[in-house]
Homo-oligomer: A and B are copies of this chain.
Amino acid sequence: MKAHVHVTLKPGVLDPQGKAIHKALSGLGFEGVEQVRQGKVIELELSETDPARARESLRDMCEKLLANTVIENYAIELDV
């Protein structure tokens, strides 16, 4: 089973990477970009076939390793 985990900075947390991209886009002449935030997406291939168990395992992975829950949110997406 394939899964995607999206890890994004919580609103209000400073995002220097996003700011750098924003500045670079302006420098290249792209107008009308109001905000840029950068996050991560982690693609996992799991041997688990039960969606409920896979989701639980992924939540555990996020809490323990994939996301820093103090400053980041995560969203789990299963390709069923």
Query: How many chain A residues touch B (Cβ–Cβ < 8 Å)?
Result: 32
Most B CB contacts (10 A, CB to CB) among A28, A42, A44 go to A44
Given contacts A21-B65, A65-B21, contact A43 B39 (CB under 8 A): yes
Please determine whether B65 and A46 come into contact, CB atoms closer than 8 angstroms: no
Evaluate contact between B40 and A44: CB separation under 8 angstroms. Answer: no
Q: Given A64-B28, A65-B21, is A41 in contact with B42 using a C-beta cutoff of 8 Å?
A: no
In the assembled complex, A33 has its CB within 8 A of some CB on chain B: yes
Q: Does residue A45 face the partner (Cβ distance < 8 Å to B)?
A: yes
**A9 closest partner in B (C-beta):** B43
Which residues of A does B touch, CB under 8 Å?
6, 8, 18, 21, 24-25, 28, 30-48, 57, 60-61, 64-66
